Structures are given as structure tokens and as C-alpha cells.
Amino acid sequence: DTAVSQTPKYLVTQMGNDKSIKCEQNLGHDTMYWYKQDSKKFLKIMFSYNNKELIINETVPNRFSPKSPDKAHLNLHINSLELGDSAVYFCASSQGVRNEKLFFGSGTQLSVL
């Protein structure tokens, strides 16, 4: 039973399209994250929610909008996709926000053509 699951695993789409990536965790954690791993393999935080409240919002284009309907889910919606959005997107969760280890999903490979 996967602890942090994200769908889809692969996403290939055209520039200008809107797409969503879904994430669910069954660990009972309070905090969820979106990380982006770019072509240079940097793993950078994008957003974090704690108990459905946004606590981290890095300098990410506002075409990216996270939504947390409940603390077990954190979805990522991307409008007007651009070539530079191609990356692997990882969802993660942690018990809380203080010095807690992260549990990652297996990633969504997004390719924008």
C-alpha cells in the first residue's frame, strides 16, 4: 500500500495546455509538499501545505496553483504549460513542519512539447 502516491506517472502534453497532477498520502501526515527536479537534477521546493494551509510558496510562476482539499491530498494544477515546465514533479509529506523527514511519491515526469 503506497504511502505517498501521485498520478499520473508520465504526462506528455502540448504547450499552452492546462494539466493537473494529483497526490495523496495515507500516512496521516499534516504537511504536504511539491518539489520540482529540473534537467540539472536540482530538487527544489515549490509549495508546502500544513493542515490545508499554505506555508511555503516559493518564487513559482502563478501559472502553478496548488490545491489541498484535505490534509491527505495536495494537487498541482498548471495553466498554459511552457517548454520550461518539463521536469519531474515530486509530491512529499511529513508528520509536521519541524525537522521532520520527508516521504516522497515516485514522481511525475512532465514533458511539454
Which CB, 85 or 94, lies closer to other proteins?
Answer: 94
- Quick check: helix, strand or coil at residue 52? coil
Question: Strand 10-13 vs strand 108-112: parallel, antiparallel, or unpaired?
Answer: parallel
Q: What is the DSSP letter of 42?
A: -
**CB of 52 vs other proteins, minimal distance in Å:** 15
Distance of CA 56 to the CA centre of its chain: 12
Identity of the residue, 16 or 110, whose beta carbon is nearer to other proteins in the bound complex: 110
Determine the Cα–Cα distance for residues 104 and 48; give it in Å rounded to an integer: 13
| Calculated CA dihedral for residues 23, 102, 49, 5, nearest 10 degrees | 10
CB nearer to other proteins: give 56 or 72.
56
Least distance from other proteins to the Cβ atom of residue 37, Å: 9
Q: Under DSSP, is residue 85 helix (H, G, I), strand (E, B) or coil?
A: helix
**Measured from the CB of residue 73, what is the shortest distance to other proteins in angstroms?**
17
List of residues contacting other proteins (CB under 8 A): 4, 31, 35, 40-45, 48, 50, 55-56, 58, 90, 92, 97-99, 101-107
- Indicate the residue among 49 and 81 with the shorter CB distance to other proteins: 49
CB of 113 to other proteins, least distance (A): 21
